[in-house]
Amino acid sequence: MRRTMKKILYMIAIATVVVGCATAVKKQWGVVSGSKADGTVKLAYEYTEMEKPIVDMTQAETIATKRCAAWGYKKAEPFDAAMTSCVYGPGAWGGCAQYRVSMDYQCTNK
């Protein structure tokens, strides 16, 4: 029993160190798809399991607005939520090795 408890505490300590070692990294949004007819733009960025992404939502809106403007729209408004998906896995710790976060924008003439 005591040996099992030591193993559990050891594993918790290792997991804490690994999670605590994740590096904060600034990520840039990029256009990954869009539809002029629908007036939608999809932006995304990717990060690994060892990164804590730092993103600038103002940069995302600027990129989406520029794409919408090229199609004749005035502005871009984000949909309610971003989507996070696993694009490569499993990672070193059994989870996802690389994530993609995407955000859709609606082009408007408001």
Give the tens place of pLDDT for each residue, 28-40: 999 999 999 999 9
Residue with the larger pLDDT of the pair 39 and 20: 39
Question: What is this structure's pTM?
Answer: 0.76
If phi > 0 it is left, if psi is from -120 to 50 it is alpha, else beta; for residue 11 that is: alpha
Query: H-helix or E-strand containing 18?
Result: helix 2-20
Residue with the larger pLDDT of the pair 10 and 29: 29
How sure is the predictor about 52, in pLDDT bands with cuts at 50, 70 and 90?
very high
Statement: residue 19 has pLDDT above 90:
no
Q: What is the pLDDT of residue 54?
A: 96
Omega before residue 90 within 30° of 0, cis: yes
Q: Give the separation between CA 27 and CA 100, rounded to whole angstroms.
A: 11
pLDDT tens digits for range 55-94: 999 999 999 999 999 999 999 999 999 999 999 877 666 7
Statement: residue 1 has pLDDT above 60:
no
Q: What is the pLDDT of residue 57?
A: 96
Strand partners, 53: 25
